[in-house]
Amino acid sequence: MNGLERVKTTISHKEPDRVPIGEWGIDHDHVSRILGRHTYWRNRKDTTLALWDGRRDEVVESLKQDCVDLVNALDYDIVTVELVPPKGYKVGNVPQQIADGKWQDAKGIIYQYAASNDSIVRMTPQPEIHQFTEAELDAIRNTASNIEDSEFELIDHVCETFGNNKAILFRGIGLFESILGMFGGDQTHQFIKTATDKDQIKKVGEAMFARVSHLIGLCRKRGVSIMMCGQDFGGSNGCLISPASIRELFMPFLKRFCGEVTAASMIPFHHCCGNVWDIMNDFVEAGFKGYQSIQASAGMDTSRVKKLYGDKISLWTGVQCETLIEKTVEQTRDEVARSLEICMPGGGFIFGSTNSVQFGAKTQNYLAALEVVKQSGRY
């Protein structure tokens, strides 16, 4: 079987020749060690600085070459891609460095280096928004028609390179955090909106779904196999907002997403961290065929998820992020072997980390995990 066949077989809850492998994300420190060179692949800090400096083409060429080389080096079955900045992309108000790890633009907005994930983040809060006018909602809808072909440069390259041999997965759809993010302010302000102004949430969601629908069509034409919706509905102890609000405000958009993706002959996947036992069945009922990120540290036990949902939705999991960061190689191997034992029977299992191979994790742990899967993950 090739990678695409392997993924399609496991999603149909049949057993392929071996467990398919892929990652929602693998950060640049691991990619650089594996390929032996600098990369912009998930290199948040260097990418930000390069784009501020007007070096968009340099970034995109790195993404294209390094994505292909990484997939070949690790023999992934799933290739995860997203949009890139358009050709000629320029930052109009370039921040200037004012201290070590600190920048400020002409509007006084402060940016600061974050060592936790090697990124540069905006420290000045976005202004709070409470109401959108019809003209503003129209402007959100119109962003769909402003997507340029050059934003698909990475996707086109990957689709041309791997053709029908790999499952090409588009990430970049958000129908929870991205909708709430339109209201600016902090997370508290955004969560309060879900209780106090549901009509505005629904209107913004409708406007933003125009772009989602357009992206689905553009990805289908290019040969993308899987459309992945990614947002974290859960925290360490449960859903971030009430399950009732999630069902009323966001699940209808997720169901429409699944319907349009399926109608376009692609496969709908969902990424979600945190404790989401209260809404796991909602993901199944919405029509998702794959679920990524089973976070044990938040109480999402893999064996229980497999028992309750393993015949209804394919599970993309296998090694916890904390294991890759904190544990030894042998402990990593043991955890992966246990995951194979739990998740392999009956298909419906894709191997990967439970979120991403994060910056600062131990590359040797991840490579050891892949070794176990390639040795023991055969049916």
Encode pLDDT of 276-304 as tens digits: 999 999 999 999 999 999 999 999 999 99
Averaged pLDDT score across all residues of the chain? 97
DSSP 119: E
Token couple for 268: 């709908």
Interatomic CA distance for residues 115 and 311, integer angstroms: 40
Interatomic CA distance for residues 125 and 122, integer angstroms: 7
Summarize the confidence of residues 322-326 as an average pLDDT.
98
The alpha carbon dihedral of 58, 60, 66, 69 has a sign of: negative
Q: Is pLDDT above 90 for 127?
A: yes
Q: Tens digits of per-residue pLDDT, 240-254?
A: 999 999 999 999 999
Q: Tens digits of per-residue pLDDT, 186-207?
A: 999 999 999 999 999 999 999 9
Q: How are the residues of the chain apportioned to helix, strand and coil, as percentages rounded to the nearest 5?
A: 50, 15, 35
Query: Which pLDDT belongs to residue 291?
Result: 98
- Picking from 272, 276, 295, 277, the residue whose alpha carbon sits closest to that of residue 354 is 295
Decide if 266 contacts 223 (C-beta within 8 A). Answer: no
The alpha carbon dihedral of 349, 229, 232, 49 has a sign of: positive
- Picking from 336, 348, 254, 355, the residue whose alpha carbon sits closest to that of residue 309 is 348
239-265 in b/e burial notation, b at 16+ Cβ within 10 A?
bbbebebbeebbbbbbbbbbebbeebe
317-351 in b/e burial notation, b at 16+ Cβ within 10 A?
bbbbbebbeebeeeebbebbbebbebbbeebbbbb
Give the residue carrying structure tokens 């392999």: 344
Q: At 255, is the pLDDT very low, low, confident or very high (cuts 50, 70, 90)?
A: very high
**Residue 103 host element (H or E):** strand 102-104
Decide if 137 contacts 204 (C-beta within 8 A). Answer: yes
Q: Tens digits of per-residue pLDDT, 131-141?
A: 999 999 999 99
Domains and CATH numbers, the chain: 3-35+64-81+127-376 (3.20.20.210)
Q: At 343, is the pLDDT very low, low, confident or very high (cuts 50, 70, 90)?
A: very high
Interatomic CA distance for residues 165 and 5, integer angstroms: 8
Q: Is pLDDT above 90 for 145?
A: no
Decide if 284 contacts 251 (C-beta within 8 A). Answer: no
H-assigned helices in the chain? 3-11, 28-35, 44-52, 56-74, 134-142, 153-162, 177-181, 187-196, 198-222, 243-249, 251-263, 280-286, 302-309, 321-326, 329-343, 363-376
Q: Tens digits of per-residue pLDDT, 148-180?
A: 999 999 999 999 999 899 999 999 899 999 999
Q: Is pLDDT above 90 for 233?
A: yes
Q: What is the pTM of this model?
A: 0.96
Q: Tens digits of per-residue pLDDT, 62-115?
A: 999 999 999 999 999 999 999 999 999 999 999 999 999 999 999 999 999 999
Interatomic CA distance for residues 162 and 18, integer angstroms: 19
Q: Any idea of the CA torsion for 298, 303, 304, 306, to the nearest 10 degrees? A: 110
Query: Which pLDDT belongs to residue 199?
Result: 97
- Whole-number percent of the chain with pLDDT over 70: 100
Q: Tens digits of per-residue pLDDT, 20-79?
A: 999 999 999 999 999 999 999 999 999 999 999 999 999 999 999 999 999 999 999 999
Summarize the confidence of residues 331-356 as an average pLDDT.
97
Burial class (CB in 10 A: 0-12, 13-18, 19+), 213: middle
Burial class (CB in 10 A: 0-12, 13-18, 19+), 114: middle
